Amino acid sequence: MFLTHKENVLKFSCLLPSFLSLFLFGSTVKAAAMPAAGVAIANWHFDSNRNHLDFTTDENVQPKVQLLSNPTRLVIDLPGVTLGYPQTSQRVGPVIQNIRIEQFNAETTRMVVTLAPGYTFDLAQVQLQQESPNHWSVQLPKPIQLTATQPKYLEITPSISPAVSDHSTLFAGVVPMHSPMKALEPQIKALMSRYSFLKTGMFFLDLDTGDYLDIGGDRVFPAASTIKLPILIAFFQDLDAGKVTLQENLTMRRDLVTNGSGSMQYERVGKKYTALETITKMITISDNTATNMIIDRLGGAAKLNQRFRSWGLKDTVIRHLLADLRGTNTTSSQDMARVLALVVNNKLVSLQSREQALDILRHTTIHTLLPAGLGKGAVIANKTGDIGFLIGDAGFVTMPNGKRYLASIFVTRPYKDTRGRDFIRQVSQLVYNYLNQMNPVAAVNSPYGVTR
């Protein structure tokens, strides 16, 4: 079955927001071997007044429905249907924000209904009805607004034909992994050959397809300032637990003041900062003194290390307060990606804390590593690290087309050699361009899945 683009007309009409209707016309559905005479017009219609979606194909298909998070999305996969044009999307309203149609893998078209942050669906209440062999309707329940008394994350088992293959495994226990990015690996390895004097480890994971790039992802490196990423999340965990507040005052003690990055070291000892000011400086300007103040407030390195182990981090250890220019604090690309995977899937902190933490990470001031390789309009929440002989970066990337992926990379280099920075930029660009292809393929039945 093949969807070709004829007019690609989107008609968006409304009288009042509560009576909004979305019509998507002009896409044809046909079997690959059928003559032109057999072409039928596929019609998608979403009535937001009734939360009702209709769609037709020219052959019988079996839709598969699941609920994904961050943002919350109801996903309807159409196996055997190939989309012959770039993804199409249209904004709907403030709660059900948009609907898009895209190519998920080589033989599957995906319809996605995206909700605003703080809302979800009760998947058990989603009614998928076959009106005829080629006509389906989906009755969506009223979106549910998450509250402080509801779970911080959702464990959802689809009640209708799950789209995730039984052969897949989970990264960090939350992200289904499918296939290595085999088409990308030769390009990355060729780049590594040109920069053979560098030692690197990297891990990238497409959160929508489960495709991944893992080259030395479990290799242990000095963490440098990337250690501030899990420290930030630990702070927000304690905030959710009521152990700390954003407005409490922290005193800059002499034993916590250190050199390296940041401006707080130049202020008078004894000066007070709110916890919010301190964590913000810790991330945005990578302030080492601020980091030491937060480590101290959270109970010290030993307690944080215990917390990190409880998250499944195998290589992330704080051995000394910052600045740690010798690189005794350690982590790995997989560990940094694991933290981000757990955060964006609401496993470590509340929805509100997740959004606040990611917003702080989006305002870092160093953009020469992973951000330098991203395309226009991409957004990254990331934390870099640099101690001269080691640089690293870990982040959560959202592309303009809505695709999301995790990125983590470390490089040891000759001291302050700018070619290390250039290498990370080029790796970031290669991965971004690969994931930005019109019809990226995800091998959902890949035998290459591994448990992380």
Does residue 313 carry a pLDDT above 90? yes
Distances (CA, A) of 160 to 40, 101, 194, 323, 344: 27, 19, 49, 52, 24
Rounded to an integer, what distance in angstroms lies between the CA atom of residue 111 and that of residue 79? 11
Distances (CA, A) of 155 to 75, 233, 251, 297: 16, 21, 40, 32
% of the chain exceeding 70 in pLDDT: 80
Average pLDDT for residues 187-210, to the nearest whole number?
Answer: 97
> What single-letter DSSP state applies at residue 371?
G
Rounded to the nearest angstrom, the gap between the alpha carbon of residue 11 and the centroid of all alpha carbons in its chain is 30
Enter the tokens of residue 147: 């509250």
Instruction: Check: CB of residue 78 under 8 Å from CB of residue 105.
Output: no
Please give the order of strands across the beta sheet that includes 135-139.
82-83, 2-13, 21-30, 40-47, 52-56, 135-139, 127-132
Share in percent of the chain as helix, strand, coil (round to 5): 25, 30, 40
Residue 425 neighbours by CB distance under 10 Å: 18
Residue 9 neighbours by CB distance under 10 Å: 11
% of the chain exceeding 90 in pLDDT: 57
Q: Residue 111 — very low, low, confident or very high, per pLDDT cuts 50/70/90?
A: confident
Burial of residue 148 (CB within 10 Å: 0-12, 13-18, 19+) is: exposed
Rounded to an integer, what distance in angstroms lies between the CA atom of residue 327 and that of residue 320? 9
Instruction: Check: CB of residue 410 under 8 Å from CB of residue 200.
Output: yes
User: Helix or strand or coil: residue 293?
Assistant: helix
Rounded to an integer, what distance in angstroms lies between the CA atom of residue 404 and that of residue 401? 9
What's the confidence (pLDDT) of residue 91? 78
Q: List the beta strands (DSSP E) in 96-134.
A: 96-105, 108-115, 119-120, 127-132
Instruction: Check: CB of residue 319 under 8 Å from CB of residue 224.
Output: no
Question: What's the pTM value of the predicted model, to 2 decimals?
Answer: 0.65
Q: How do residues 114-162 score in pLDDT, each as one tens digit?
A: 888 888 888 778 888 877 777 788 888 888 887 544 433 333 333 333 3
Rounded to an integer, what distance in angstroms lies between the CA atom of residue 408 and that of residue 337? 6
What's the confidence (pLDDT) of residue 58? 62
User: Helix or strand or coil: residue 248?
Assistant: coil
Rounded to an integer, what distance in angstroms lies between the CA atom of residue 20 and that of residue 14? 5
Rounded to an integer, what distance in angstroms lies between the CA atom of residue 199 and that of residue 411? 6
What's the confidence (pLDDT) of residue 445? 33
Q: Which of 7-11, 55-59, 63-67, 249-253 has the lowest mean pLDDT?
A: 7-11
Which comes out higher in pLDDT, residue 361 or 133?
A: 361
User: Helix or strand or coil: residue 42?
Assistant: strand
Q: How do residues 22-53 score in pLDDT, each as one tens digit?
A: 334 333 333 333 333 322 325 667 777 788 88
Closest residue by Cα to residue 316 from 406, 229, 379, 250:
229
